[in-house]
Structure 1
Amino acid sequence: MNLPIVAITMGDASGIGPEIIAKALARPEIVSWARILVVGDAERLREAVKITGSKVTVNAIADPDEARYVADVIDCIDVPVIPKGHPFGVVSAASGEGAFQFIKKAVELVQAGKAQAICTAPLNKEALHAAGHMFPGHTEMLAHLTGTPEVSMMLMTPTLRVVHVTTHLGLIDAVNKIEPALVERTIARAHATLVSAGIANPRIAVCAINPHAGENGLFGNGEEETKIVPAVKATQARGWNVEGPLPADTLFFRAGRGDFDVVIAMYHDQGHGPIKVMGIADGVNITIGLPVIRTSVDHGTAFDIAGKGIASEDSLIEAVRQAAVLSAR
């Protein structure tokens, strides 16, 4: 079986990225899903292998053609940008630069047809900015590197999917940015993604902005009627199974019990909060709308425990599995 090649980027080398990669790639099930390339600093990865006690070796390579793709060997496209002995658990421009370079290389590999998907370990936005790369996060950086004008973030747990209309914006700025065309495009990206994943007629629920969906003008300034309702009606006119705007509190309860296949959240915390309550350890972040498949862990760099070898690799394993599944389809 010709398994897809998934490129895992190391993320911020001062965080838990190197450790969770070292631990995840010691797990035997991964080699049955995909051929794995790590894109990162090989020496930093070797350090993480020692810290975690992982029973793997690191094969530093310059090109995917040199990869072995065998159990207990991590094939690492070596991007040697992290200083030897660089500390864990601190914000640094060096690690921010590394995070950017790892992503840039992974995008190049996918665009050259040498990998089918990208799976990202977490980066630190402050470190990224310290290195001069002024992106709010992975999603915006990948859109820039692939020349994609607009993408959406989809978060997944085993029981819930959420796609965001806005992400890394302050709440006031997010509400100002929401408008019918953006909501409609977000619904369309969610619909296309689920159809491609094998759900023929996905059940899509759209969150309101205000409490109780505005309650007929009692709360807010009519945002539901002006910003969301036109998009819902437009997508319903396409024959899609779209419902909303619905009060977010009861909507997420219904979604959690299985009434919907995906929820469209209006802003960052509206969608992130329920996902992380439902299962942060198993959460996966998928960027939809890109010309490449990209999944990610649903957690941060965890500087407080970085370098201690105790970080859980479960979210990374699920992100790799989703990348492999989407690549195969």
Structure 2
Amino acid sequence: MEWMVNRIGLTMGDPAGIGPEVICKALKDMSAAERAATLVIADPVFMARASALVGADLDFVTTDAAVEAGKVADGGVPLLPVEANNRDAILPGQLSADAGEVGCRIIKTAVELALAKKIDVICTAALNKTAIRMAGYALNGHAGLLSHFTGVKKCYAVLACPQLSVIHVTTHVALSKAAGLCRTELILDTIRAAHRHVLTTGVARPRVAVAAINPHAGEAGLYGTEDQEQVVPAVEAACAEGILATGPIPGDVVFEQAIDGKFDIVVAQFHDQGHIPAKLIGRHETVNITAGLPILRTSVDQGTAFDIAWKGVARPGNMKAAIAMARRMRPV
């Protein structure tokens, strides 16, 4: 059986969390051909435990040959083993440096495979930011790891669901600082990243909406001048490059216009401006995508859920949505 397009590298996430469980539940519902095209990058012991926990009865093929050839028995799942240094120290629902360390090594392995074109897309289960730091990585979760391992200085968070896609100029900074960071060059770079991301989903001429920073786009300076001084030049520069960019559009109308089909993606200026509508509209179908990398990556839009980890109750819907998005994307 040959690899399907896309060949997905599915990473385990933090083994103390729900990642192994939701992966096994998603794999259980795949066709044999889909399983064969899904390389699980994980500690095989945790994956076997999760398969037994959810009654998936998965046949993991733990050989390096599975990476190259993609040939497994009907219904089998290729698995590239990345083993935890101290499995006994990794307990369900508990923070662990060992869990964080193996999670980071798994991401490094996945990036290496993607850069070598042995997989087409990385799809990730959740890591725990505190566990990553306990393991000695002073990086901000998956985004920091992916930037570090690919050598990219800046990447962008995209939230996508069937009705709406949003990319962010700024994310994890205080709201009091966000407006000051939304400068023309960064906004322009985000518009470019938005355009390129939408191209990977098969849209030939992406339509990019740019949300305003201030209420009513500043109301001619009454509520601030940032939109005229920073956003307008960025939109004009993007249009000069041939990008179909429109803005600044007030935040209280731009998302409705995108949902109605006027735009393919919205550039949000700060974290909650984009996260709230995307999660409200998409709910469990919202997928986290990292734009601006030399590789493609999708992820669940959920955490490690330590409170329910290894109890067999985690829902796989968001993992299935992340995998479905990964199968749609193509390099550009």
2:138 aligned residue: 134
CA RMSD of aligned residues (A): 2.1
Aligned ranges 1:116-155 → 2 under 5 Å: 116-155=120-159
Provide, for residues 199-220 of structure 1, a one-character-per-residue CA deviation record: whole Å limited to 9, x for no partner.
Answer: 2222211111222222222324
Q: Which segment is superposed worse, 138-147 or 64-73?
A: 64-73
Matching residue within 82, 97, 103 for 1:99:
103
TM-superposed deviation, 1:150 = 2.1
* Closer, same or farther: CA 149–85 of 1 in aligned 2, 3 Å: closer
Are the counterparts in 1 of residues 168 and 274 from structure 2 also a CA contact under 8 Å? yes
Q: Which segment is superposed worse, 14-23 or 310-319?
A: 310-319
Q: Supply the distance in 2 between the matched residues of 1:254 and 1:245 (Cα, whole angstroms).
A: 13
1:3 aligned residue: 4
2:38 aligned residue: 36
1:242 aligned residue: 245
* Closer, same or farther: CA 174–141 of 1 in aligned 2, 3 Å: farther
* Closer, same or farther: CA 30–125 of 1 in aligned 2, 3 Å: farther
Question: Percent of pairs identical after alignment?
Answer: 41
Q: Supply the distance in 2 between the matched residues of 1:189 and 1:77 (Cα, whole angstroms).
A: 31
Q: TM-score, normalised by structure 1?
A: 0.92
Specify the SS of the correspondent of 1:25: helix
1:285 maps to amino acid: N
Instruction: State the aligned residue count.
Output: 328
Are the counterparts in 2 of residues 55 and 72 from structure 1 also a CA contact under 8 Å? no
Matching residue within 39, 43, 62 for 1:60:
62
Q: TM-score, normalised by structure 2?
A: 0.92
Provide, for residues 262-313 of structure 1, a one-character-per-residue CA deviation record: whole Å limited to 9, x for no partner.
Answer: 0001111111111111123111112122111111111111112111111121
Provide, for residues 179-234 of structure 1, a one-character-per-residue CA deviation record: whole Å limited to 9, x for no partner.
Answer: 101111111111122234332222211111222222222324x2212221110111
TM-superposed deviation, 1:29 = 4.0
1:17 maps to amino acid: G
Are the counterparts in 2 of residues 30 and 317 from structure 1 also a CA contact under 8 Å? no
Gaps of at least 5 residues in structure 1 are none
The yes-or-no answer on 1:73 pairing with 2:49 is no
2:283 aligned residue: 280
* Closer, same or farther: CA 117–30 of 1 in aligned 2, 3 Å: farther
Gaps of at least 5 residues in structure 2 are none
Specify the SS of the correspondent of 1:28: coil
Q: Supply the distance in 1 between the matched residues of 2:98 and 2:161 (Cα, whole angstroms).
A: 32
